[in-house]
Structure 1
Amino acid sequence: SGTGHSDLGDILLMPTTGPLHLNPGTADAPETGYRSRYSHSSETAHPGYYAVTLEDYGIRAELSATARTGIHRYTYPGEGDRHLVMDLSHGIYNYEGKTLWASVRVVSPTLVTGYRITQGWAREHYTYFAVRFSRPIRDYGCRESVASAYQGFWRKFSTDHHFPEMAGRGLSLWFDFDWADAGADDLTVQVALSATSAEGALRNLEAEGGSFDGIRASAGAAWERELGKVSAEGTDEELKMLYTALYHTMINPSVYDDVDGAYRGLDGGIHKADGWNNYTVFSLWDTYRAEHPLLLLMHPQRARDMGFSMLAHQEQSAHGLLPIWSLMANEGWCMSGYHAVSVLSDAVSAGIGLPGDRALEAMDATATVPYLEGLEDYMKIGYVPLEASSTGASTTLEYAYDDWTIYRAAKLLGNKSLAQKYRQRAFSYLHLFPFGENFAQARYRDGRWKKNFDPRQTYGEGFIEGNSYNFSFHVPHDVAGLIGLMGGEKQFLSMLDTLFSQPLDPRYYADNEDIEESCLIGGYVHGNEPSHHIPYLFAWTSKPWKGEYWLREIMERMYRPVRDGLGGNDDCGQMSAWYIFSAMGFYPVCPGSGEFVLGAPFLPRMTLQLEGGKSFTVLAPGVSSRNRYVQRVKLNGKRLTKRFLTR
């Protein structure tokens, strides 16, 4: 369920035996450090539980978790020296200087607390921790691999062995334990995290602590309860893919507060979430499309809490902005658009308890920050010029859609002036289509079009992580208008047919990290998000069966329950949310509209258990790869005459 960039991995624990190593070694020669080889054949993985054998040490490592703690159980071999390494200089997407400072205090023989401050994707990331061991510490020490320029008074003594306060920028620690009780070779380690303080981590540890087997059982039951909200019929492989996708949709956004509601805010201060949980990891350029609509459908209470988290982010922002890409009390500034407005508009229209006027105020504030990626030009001339952004064309398309969602929220809340303002801005996409042309194109501030335009080229054409051919269909709020702009249904269908049937020349993706051959169908790029709604656009034409054909092709080709079975990274559940919706046979082409566009069910039966004891069941007897076309649709026994469902 990862993203195109990475961070975190703040507290590395590694059980070892034999000679002590505090450096990781290399992948080619793991024996030169604390690394260990392992085999996939020794792995066991279930929701809420993972286990693997570390072959170099003969140690069985087991992992489970609660909302705010992780728990480890290491079973060592019966003989030899046994160690536990804690490497606070390690991290995901690591580089020299990433760790700004780390500090550890040995509080008691079974309790260690500390913190780590890093600078990465999350520009200023604080991780506090409390670690409880099932055995008393017998001996411990550390190594500081980064020399300090300061040589002052606190350097009067050695801090590398049995000194209960250890700190530095390249800090690695080791612990040895008392193994006096005969016949027991396991060590349990529970790690509680907090972004506020070591005291917050301790409170989380006290509230969510327990035995390994108890926590494993609770985690398994929690996942069974959540995954059990969907029941379905299909082959073993189809169901494995379905539940893998569903699991991926529930990993992020994630809870980012202590058990008492305390959390670190975007302003660096400690705040209190009162009556809601604070969330982080908002990969909104990806997830507004299907992940958040799915959460709103299946988990409205969590969707409400995420809405409050976004409003708190905007209130604490020095810019007055809703999150663009929120990561651990930091704004990551990744990708374009201000898609939190789409999520909030959808939530307000669903009536899940968000304050509508406050949400609308935050949307309007976000959409009027002049220095946000060409927004001043956009508000003046109706598009983002290349002088203001190298991806001005796609940014304009995204702003126009986002503005439509603000228009809809304003209209729903009775704010006529804002509704009129954003309705007008929602048609800004028209500025990107030269007269008589069917492709959106980048242009300069004086109105000139970019020369040597190539609609299949990703880089240098004014589009972010996509090309004009795919992005030209990114007008989800006015598909009928787009069809007219392209010359009518015949030309629109021709554009769609060519996109799916004409192969993309390898020169367009040979050195392109945003497009992989495995995620292509013709020129349609499923491995990145801007294209996800395109197969459903056939529903606006007289030939919706063409969309049904391609949807089945995507489901069968791009989603397989194997190691390389996903065409592209999941981007915090968006790829998988697309699969869940498409398996049910409908999709939120225009999030914020409250509408779902019909496709074709993938499974014979699929049932969603909704909050309040309600359920929604999709029946498609006899559906298969050969029998993929929809003949008629009934809702609660009544035949539908349109290809849309309304929430």
Structure 2
Amino acid sequence: MKIKNLLTIVLVVLAYSYSVAQDNLVQYVNPLIGTHKMGHTYPGATVPFGMVQLSPETDTIPYEADDHYNPLVYKYCAGYQYDDPTIVGFTHTHFSGTGHSDLGDFLIMPSVGKLQLNPGTEQNPKSGFRSAFSHSNEKAEANYYRVKLDDDNIVAELTATNRVGFHQYTFPQADQAHIILDLMYGIYNHAGKNIWTFVRVENDTLVTGYRQTNGWARTRTVYFAMTFSKPIKQYGMKDFSKPDVYKGFWRKFDQTKNFPDIAGEQIRMYFDFQTQEGEKVKIKFALSSVSTKGALENLQTELPHWDFEKAKHDGQQQWQKELQRIRVKASDKNDLINFYTALYHTFLGPTTYMDVTGAYRGLDQNNHQAAGFTNYTTFSLWDTYRALHPLFNVIQPKRNSDMVNSMLAHYDQSVHKMLPVWSHHANENWCMIGYHSVSVISDAIIKGNFQGDAYQALDACVATARHKSYDGLEYYIQSGYVPEDKSGSSVSKTLEYAYDDWCIAQVAKKLNKQAIYDEFTKRSQNWRNVYDASTGYMRPKLSDGKFRKEFDVLSTHGQGYIEGNAWNYSLYVPQDPEQMIALMGGKKRFVQHLDSLFTMNLPDEFFAHTEDITREGIIGNYVHGNEPAHHAAYLYNWTDQPWKTQERVRMILQKQYHATPDGLGGNDDCGQMSAWYIFTSLGFYPVAPGSDQYALGSPAIQSAVLPLENGKTFEIEAINQSKKNVYVQKVTLNDKLLTRPFLTHDEIVKGGKLVFYMSAKPKR
């Protein structure tokens, strides 16, 4: 009897442990996914939307490689590539999944033995402070990274708070143990990127300073406060922009050793210690865009202790809280890993950009105070307006509202009086096309999530759309299209401007601004002006009103498109698919065209000008590794064959997402690729942000629960869902048959239950 009772107790305990493990969502996050090939994600430590992204650097870019399109430069947009054998150090700022390089501020690297202040090479890491490493001695989790630096037998561990990076280095016994602070290093570290650096050694444990760079962001200043867990034995520096004979400040001091304040363009510093076997030397490294005082206050407020495990645990609890915004069940563990890593990637940005006091550096390079909102930066809007911000409108509405307010602050500080296009760290870099802040703002207002002055937001949208000096807008406003002989990528610009104009019209309608509604509804029809009925494609038009004679529907180079070709962009009328389909010959002909997109074989010459996509990101001529056709598979819902949407989206999920380092078929683009995965796995997708509709697809999970911020709960269940059962036989919402292939935002936020009944055969 006692044995039986004991067995019962053991079984209960085991069952309880399994349940707890199932509730631990952090275990399914693998930050190494996307770090190989073109995913351009980073594996290091950060908290949700954190200002610090503390991650290893493996780059092998020669310093003189100052061309962004140099394959080496493009390869290291996130600083880390999974197939590299060496690590050069750990830096505090990174983009996740971008197609351009910047950041990589304040590289720290531990070493022992003879001091070396050059980074060494991949072929001979021992020639510098670089070290070989093995993936067998590497571990990456949400808010935690660990690796053994083989050449010096040092274990490096990283964790973070929002604004503070926390390093822990376990040293061997060494009389000469060093911490190197490289103020020269930067991702895409072209000649002249470093403008100036300043370091002040405050005492034997505290160092402050700043760095100014001219990179993708033209003028970026980052302040820091760094503190050590044990006193420095001695310290020194080398200014690589000066000859060795230059020894002092006006030749009166020797700045190279134990001098309290140091300034220059190309500085590396070292801090020396004596360590015992297994001794841990810890570093807390805080950032600020405002001042060293702000950095120190961030450090003291967020990380007042030296307990590394506590900081790691606290950060992982933050991740657990955010990941619980969607609780899914799946039959395959890899599906859970893919899902929660995708959700993790969507919560990496935009990133916090203000001190704990609310102070931040603005676009005008003055200091500002965020009043009533969290200020964010890193707005890759050409990518993220499509699915990332719409996902936030479902599961992060308050945070998304703060992001909109950050965009409006950008507008107020802009000398151009324009909303952000691609902005980061108090800079506008004008990357890509369109004015897609308009889409993000409109979507938040239409869905009732924006907490601010909607009329003021509309005014900013209208002013941006009327800015004639911006990227072909003068011709677009005058002629109804962008002429290719006046402004390149003209077809893409015309189509994207027309969509953004439609978004403005929706907000104007909601706010009863009839004149604005009429103006922008008319402008939203401009997509018709670049449609060529003789070919059935969107085609570049010249300023004389004629289509350009030279036209290649497959080429991505010099044809009037950007990151796509005529096949992909001819489908880009998300605001009016019905009229697009009618203009292209009706539903039957359109289905044939859409089928061909996914099934055709591309010639090898297609890949001649695809610097930022790979064959892994392409299915037929559908380019999932870029964004212009991310909505394309859902367009079957506007035909008589919606079952093909179900078939295609499940195929894309299977082919483009894997639980491996090379598991992303293209740049994650600040979470857009991952947001596509989340929506599609749940069974619906926002084809036209600014609308209240989501197109239905084919859920790839068994069930999901979304605890919404308004206190309601929205549930999804997929009955009989499997890798073969991808077709939807019927859908019910709150036990009532849904007779349309769409779901509205209001139906989600009211709470309830959406049930898909799945089958291996399509419902024709």
TM bin, normalised by shorter chain, reads over 0.9
Farther off after superposition, 612-621 or 591-600: 612-621
**How far 1:515 moved relative to its partner?**
3.2
Which of 269, 275, 288 pairs up with 1:194? 288
* 2:458 match: 360
* 1:338 match: 435
CA contact (8 A) 1:437 1:486 kept: no
Per the normalisation by structure 1, the TM-score is 0.98
Which of 623, 626, 629 pairs up with 1:525? 623
Which of 101, 104, 108 pairs up with 1:13? 108
Amino acid at match of 1:241: N
**How far 1:224 moved relative to its partner?**
1.0
Residues 1:31 and 2:126 aligned together: yes
Amino acid at match of 1:87: D
Amino acid at match of 2:596: T
Which of 143, 149, 154 pairs up with 1:48? 143
**How far 1:80 moved relative to its partner?**
4.3
Residues 1:177 and 2:276 aligned together: no
Take 1:138 and 1:512, find their aligned partners in 2: how far apart are those partners? 52
For 1:584-599, list aligned pairs within 5 A: 584-599=682-697
Residues 1:577 and 2:672 aligned together: no
* 1:602 match: 700
SS at 1:263 equivalent:
strand
For 1:597-636, list aligned pairs within 5 A: 597-636=695-734
* 1:138 match: 233
Amino acid at match of 1:365: A
Which of 638, 656, 665 pairs up with 1:540? 638
Residues 1:424 and 2:519 aligned together: no
CA contact (8 A) 1:605 1:619 kept: yes
Take 2:589 and 2:483, find their aligned partners in 1: how far apart are those partners? 28
* 2:30 match: none
Amino acid at match of 2:515: S
* 1:222 match: 318
SS at 2:524 equivalent:
helix
* 1:236 match: 333
CA contact (8 A) 2:229 2:282 kept: yes
* 1:87 match: 182
Take 2:382 and 2:716, find their aligned partners in 1: how far apart are those partners? 29
**How far 1:272 moved relative to its partner?**
0.2
**How far 1:152 moved relative to its partner?**
10
Change (3 A) 1:304 1:238: same
Take 2:532 and 2:656, find their aligned partners in 1: how far apart are those partners? 34
Per-residue CA deviation, residues 358-414 of structure 1 (Å, 9 max, x unaligned), is 100100110011111100000000001112321011000000000000000111011
Q: Gaps (5+ residues) in structure 1?
A: none
Take 1:253 and 1:89, find their aligned partners in 2: how far apart are those partners? 26
**How far 1:278 moved relative to its partner?**
0.5
Per the normalisation by structure 2, the TM-score is 0.83
Take 2:116 and 2:274, find their aligned partners in 1: how far apart are those partners? 20
For 1:457-468, list aligned pairs within 5 A: 457-468=555-566
Per-residue CA deviation, residues 107-153 of structure 1 (Å, 9 max, x unaligned), is 01111000000000011110100001100111000000002899997
Per-residue CA deviation, residues 610-643 of structure 1 (Å, 9 max, x unaligned), is 1133221111121112111001111111111111
CA contact (8 A) 2:212 2:220 kept: yes
Take 2:298 and 2:549, find their aligned partners in 1: how far apart are those partners? 58
Amino acid at match of 1:253: P
CA contact (8 A) 2:698 2:728 kept: yes
CA contact (8 A) 2:298 2:355 kept: yes
Take 1:434 and 1:565, find their aligned partners in 2: how far apart are those partners? 38
Take 1:246 and 1:376, find their aligned partners in 2: how far apart are those partners? 40
CA contact (8 A) 1:373 1:388 kept: no
Amino acid at match of 1:607: V
SS at 2:180 equivalent:
strand
**How far 1:351 moved relative to its partner?**
2.1
Residues 1:251 and 2:348 aligned together: yes
Residues 1:501 and 2:596 aligned together: no
Farther off after superposition, 384-393 or 358-367: 384-393
For 1:8-407, list aligned pairs within 5 A: 8-147=103-242, 154-177=250-273, 179=275, 185-209=279-303, 210=305, 211-234=307-330, 235-352=332-449, 353-407=451-505
**How far 1:354 moved relative to its partner?**
2.5
% identical equivalent positions = 48
Take 1:482 and 1:200, find their aligned partners in 2: how far apart are those partners? 53
SS at 2:616 equivalent:
helix
Take 2:624 and 2:278, find their aligned partners in 1: how far apart are those partners? 51
CA contact (8 A) 1:545 1:630 kept: yes
Q: Gaps (5+ residues) in structure 2?
A: 1-95, 746-764
Amino acid at match of 2:167: H
CA contact (8 A) 1:135 1:178 kept: no
Take 1:306 and 1:246, find their aligned partners in 2: how far apart are those partners? 18
SS at 2:235 equivalent:
strand
Over aligned residue pairs, what C-alpha RMSD do you find? 1.5
CA contact (8 A) 1:500 1:524 kept: yes
SS at 1:495 equivalent:
helix
Q: How many residues align?
A: 645
Change (3 A) 1:25 1:178: closer
CA contact (8 A) 2:113 2:174 kept: no
CA contact (8 A) 1:137 1:178 kept: no
Take 2:652 and 2:532, find their aligned partners in 1: how far apart are those partners? 32
Take 2:432 and 2:249, find their aligned partners in 1: how far apart are those partners? 47
**How far 1:79 moved relative to its partner?**
3.4
* 1:551 match: 649
Take 1:111 and 1:37, find their aligned partners in 2: how far apart are those partners? 30
